[in-house]
């Protein structure tokens, strides 16, 4: 007859058993696919892929893990660290870049999705010696404090003005048959995906309004 102690298990043994049950074969980056016979008839695809895209008017070909985001490709592979990683969940807008004329959160987009695309980062808009008008306006109006969100704010603002020019509506657009104007409500709605933790929103709005006035 078994004693109660025969059914007891130590915390150490429980952890060992649990870890073993969740262990799965892994495929190191860059290794060849595992044969189907070794995987119970299911072939495992290679984990790396070559991506060719134009970044700031320069064509680059990069071998990346297929799980790599566009943000990490820019920062870790191309060393364009102007684009910031904030929340990494598409909620703060710090990683905003312009892809084929449209602004996106690069932390939510896989690099392999952008084969052949044209990407513009903050480095491609201007330099310290030759700033983009939006960059100059942000400096003039003190549109930043810590500056961490600023690259995303500027990229978003540049693309946002192009959206208005192309008559792309927002949630607060009243008459879709009339040319859109950069009202205060339109500006704040369209820029709502870019968070400034320092609270420099009024200065950011002034900078964008000034550039919009020049384009009008």
CATH classification of the domain holding 102: 1.10.150.120
Could you report the per-residue pLDDT of 30-40, keeping only the tens digit for each?
444 545 545 55
- Cα–Cα dist 133/210, whole Å: 9
The model's confidence at residue 28, banded by pLDDT at 50, 70 and 90, is very low
Could you report the per-residue pLDDT of 133-159, keeping only the tens digit for each?
999 999 999 999 999 999 999 999 999
User: Does the residue 142 lie in any domain?
Assistant: yes
User: Does the residue 162 lie in any domain?
Assistant: yes
Residue 174: CA atoms inside 13 Å, Cβ hemisphere, count?
6
Total domains, the chain:
1
User: Does the residue 2 lie in any domain?
Assistant: no
Structure-token pair, residue 205:
């709005």
At residue 31, the pLDDT reads: 44
Q: What is the mean pLDDT of residues 38-44?
A: 55
Collapsing DSSP states into helix, strand and coil, what is residue 49? strand
Range(s) of the domain holding residue 90: 48-215
User: Does the residue 27 lie in any domain?
Assistant: no
In 22-101, DSSP assigns E strands to: 48-55, 58-65, 96-99
* Residue 49: strand pairing partners: 64
Question: Helix crossing, 133-140 with 150-165: angle to 10°?
Answer: 120
- Cα–Cα dist 75/161, whole Å: 26
pTM over 0.85: no
At residue 181, the pLDDT reads: 87
Q: How far is CA 69 from CA 10, 58, 122, in A?
A: 42, 19, 17
At residue 24, the pLDDT reads: 44
**CA-closest candidate to residue 199, choices 145, 126, 142, 121:** 145
Structure-token pair, residue 182:
């950069």
User: Does the residue 38 lie in any domain?
Assistant: no
At residue 11, the pLDDT reads: 65
């Amino acid at each position: 007859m078994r004693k109660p102690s025969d059914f007891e298990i130590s915390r150490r043994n429980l952890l060992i058993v649990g870890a073993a049950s969740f262990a799965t074969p892994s495929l190191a980056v860059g290794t060849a696919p595992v044969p189907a016979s070794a995987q119970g008839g299911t072939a495992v695809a290679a984990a790396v892929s070559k991506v060719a895209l134009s970044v700031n008017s320069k064509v680059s070909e990069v071998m990346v893990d297929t799980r790599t985001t566009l943000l990490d490709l820019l920062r870790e592979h191309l060393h364009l660290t102007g684009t910031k990683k904030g929340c990494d969940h598409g909620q703060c807008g710090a990683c905003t870049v312009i892809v084929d004329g449209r602004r996106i959160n690069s932390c939510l987009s896989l690099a392999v999705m952008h084969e052949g695309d044209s990407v513009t980062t903050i480095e491609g808009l201007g330099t310290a010696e030759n700033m983009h008008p939006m960059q100059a306006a942000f400096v003039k109006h003190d549109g930043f404090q810590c500056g961490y969100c600023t690259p995303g704010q500027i990229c978003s603002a540049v693309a946002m003005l192009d959206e208005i020019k192309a008559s792309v509506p927002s949630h607060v657009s009243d008459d879709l048959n009339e040319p859109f104007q950069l009202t205060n409500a339109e500006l704040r709605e369209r820029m709502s995906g870019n968070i400034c933790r320092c609270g420099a929103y009024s200065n950011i709005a002034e900078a964008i309004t000034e550039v919009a006035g020049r384009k009008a």
